[in-house]
Amino acid sequence: MMVKMMENNFTRKLYQVPYLLWIVLFVIAPIGLVLYYSFLDIEGHFSFENYGKFFTPVYLKMTLSSFWYAFLITAISLVIAYPTALLLTKTKHKQLWLLLIIVPSWINLLLKAYAFLGIFGTYGIANSFLQVIGIGRQQLLFTDFSFVFVSVYIFIPFMILPIFNSLSELNPTLIDAAHDLGASKWTVFRRVIFPLTINGVKSGTQVTFIPALSLFMLTRLIAGNRVITLGTAIEQQFLVTQDWGMGSTIAVFLIVIMVLIMLVTNTRERGV
């Protein structure tokens, strides 16, 4: 008996090894390195210079605009995704429709961005359509509109999925009960459906807002560098300036912001 328990203990510890290794090598060590580099100035000496630099108007403005665009992208995604998810749970071939929404997210992001370069171009499909309906050619590419549009397009599947999941876990008898007690459709949605699926909304918001905060390829390809986010700045600092210290400092702030968002949106699930 004793031997068996010890063995059990031993195997349990053995099973933890891959997990711990993973956490140490790919989570703790990189964050530690980022933190370490953030205290090095461009010549590699220890200093707080980078942190001082972050609190200048340039970087604060950049942080604000990153937040603004991430907020827009998340809000629009949510407004489109929630009704879509609701509709999906009511369709006959749920899995098929869901698959159709997920499939585009298997295609590489860059490929999709390049496709939009063609679609939104001056002589692209979108503009041909605008001309046919009499509006005439507009500049679509390299505008705020195209940037937000393409980002929403890319993030929408990630918003729909968690909402769809929590909607399908919702016990339909609760809705029936609400109806039986005389609640209107809107009241049922507001008082029953939405509160019970709030966790789906929260995780959808997380997986959209956090990556949207650090988008970088799209800012160049679709927005023509007219939108500068913290992600763009990090890319620049590492690849072009090769100022790893400043790049890391921006990354540290991004990590802190992300943790804060996680804390705000991740209120523990209470038992139902």
Partner 1 sequence: MNKILRFFLIIVVSSGILLYAISSLNTSQGYSGGNTLTVYNWGDYIDEDLIAQFEKETGIKVIYETFDSNEAMMTKIQQGGTNYDVAVPSEYTIEKMIQANLLIPLDHSKLPNLKNIDQRFMDLSFDPKNKYSVPYFWGTVGIVYNRKLLPDKEITSWNDLWNPDLKNQILLIDGAREVMGMGLNSLGYSLNDTNKKHLAEAKEKLDLLTPNVKAIVGDEIKMLMANEEASIGLVWSGDASEIMSENEDLDYVVPKEGSNLWFDNMVIPKTAKNVEGAHQFINFMLNAKVAAKNTDYVGYSTPNKQALKYLDEEVVNDERFYPSPELTKKLEVYENLGKRNLSLYNELFLQFKMHPK
Candidates 225, 255, 264, 266: give the one binding partner 1 (CB under 8 A).
225
Rounded to the nearest whole angstrom, what is the least distance from the CB of residue 71 to partner 1 in the complex? 18
Rounded to the nearest whole angstrom, what is the least distance from the CB of residue 116 to partner 1 in the complex? 12
Residue 70 within binding range of partner 1, rule CB under 8 A: no
Residue 236 within binding range of partner 1, rule CB under 8 A: yes
Site for partner 1 in 42-61 (CB under 8 A): 42-43, 58, 61
As to burial, measured by CB atoms within 10 angstroms (0-12 exposed, 13-18 middle, 19+ buried), residue 20 is exposed
Is the distance from CB of 251 to CB of 38 less than 8 angstroms?
A: yes
Candidates 8, 11, 122, 184: give the one binding partner 1 (CB under 8 A).
122
Residue 121 within binding range of partner 1, rule CB under 8 A: yes
Rounded to the nearest whole angstrom, what is the least distance from the CB of residue 121 to partner 1 in the complex? 6
Rounded to the nearest whole angstrom, what is the least distance from the CB of residue 81 to partner 1 in the complex? 30
Is the distance from CB of 120 to CB of 126 less than 8 angstroms?
A: yes
Nearest residue to 162 via CA among 224, 123, 205: 205
Q: Which is nearer to partner 1, 83 or 224 (CB)?
A: 224
Site for partner 1 in 77-116 (CB under 8 A): none
Candidates 233, 234, 251, 254: give the one binding partner 1 (CB under 8 A).
233
Rounded to the nearest whole angstrom, what is the least distance from the CB of residue 74 to partner 1 in the complex? 22
Q: How many residues bind partner 1 (CB under 8 A)?
A: 29
| Rounded distance between C-alpha atoms, residue 113 and residue 262, angstroms | 28
Residue 241 within binding range of partner 1, rule CB under 8 A: yes
Q: What x-and-dash track marks residues 138-167 binding partner 1 by CB under 8 A?
A: -x-xx-------------------------
Q: What is the DSSP string of the chain?
A: -HHHHHHHHHHHHHHHHHHHHHHIIIIIHHHHHHHHHTTB-TTS-B-SHHHHHHTSHHHHHHHHHHHHHHHHHHHHHHHHHHHHHHHHHHSSSHHHHHHHHHGGGGS-HHHHHHHHHHHHSTTSHHHHHHHHTTS-----TTSHHHHHHHHHHHHHHHHHHHHHHHHHHS-HHHHHHHHHTT--HHHHIIIIIHHHTHHHHHHHHHHHHHHHHT--HHHHHTTTTSS--HHHHHHIIIIII--HHHHHHHHHHHHHHHHHHHHHH-PPPPP-
Q: Which is nearer to partner 1, 65 or 265 (CB)?
A: 65
Rounded to the nearest whole angstrom, what is the least distance from the CB of residue 38 to partner 1 in the complex? 15
Site stretch for partner 1 (CB under 8 A), options 9-17, 29-37, 117-125, 156-164: 117-125
Using CB under 8 A, list all residues that contact partner 1. 42-43, 58, 61-62, 65, 117, 121-123, 139, 141-142, 220-221, 223-226, 228, 233, 236-237, 239-243, 246
